Amino acid sequence: GENVEQHPSTLSVQEGDSAVIKCTYSDSASNYFPWYKQELGKGPQLIIDIRSNVGEKKDQRIAVTLNKTAKHFSLHITETQPEDSAVYFCAAYSARAGTYKYIFGTGTRLKVLA
């Protein structure tokens, strides 16, 4: 079945450095790719998303890129801060034949070291 692979599972960076998390999806019908940040004890928060008609999207220190041919999309966080420490989930969404499926990646635990 469809799946989304996410790497790495854990990532430690020094404050101020950049962090990159990568996802690969299998369903070619996927057309929407959100990223969620989940802090300890909280629900996932939508932080950025990208649709299949766009190759890159940026919002302040975070950006997402999409390569439809390779079925890859990535989250880039620049100038990381301790408050960026959290678990990040990617997801791929597709709508086919009246069903609407979100497939989530397995998560990346990001630690920003002060």
Partner 1 sequence: SAVISQKPSRDICQRGTSLTIQCQVDSQVTMMFWYRQQPGQSLTLIATANQGSEATYESGFVIDKFPISRPNLTFSTLTVSNMSPEDSSIYLCSTRQGVDEQYFGPGTRLTVT
Closest CB 50 distance from partner 1, rounded Å: 12
> Which residues ranging from 49 to 68 are in contact with partner 1 (CB under 8 A)?
49
Residue 5 sits in the site that holds partner 1 (CB under 8 A) = no
Interacting residues of 36 by C-beta distance below 8 A, sequence separation 6+: 44, 45, 46, 47, 88, 89, 90, 91
Closest contact distance (angstroms) between CB of 36 and partner 1 is 8
Using rule CB under 8 A, residue 102 touches partner 1: yes
Q: Is 21 in the site for partner 1 (CB under 8 A)?
A: no
Among candidate residues 73, 69, 59, 61, the one with its CA nearest the CA of residue 21: 73
64 φ/ψ angles, rounded to the nearest 5 degrees: -130, 140
Alpha-carbon distance of 50 to 35, in angstroms, equals 9
Per CB under 8 A, the list member of 19, 23, 35, 44 interacting with partner 1 is 44
- Residue 4's region, left for phi above 0, alpha for psi from -120 to 50, else beta, is beta
**Residue 18 is a binding residue for partner 1 (CB under 8 A):** no
Binding site for partner 1 (CB under 8 A): 32, 34, 36, 41-46, 49, 89, 91, 93, 95, 100, 102, 104-107
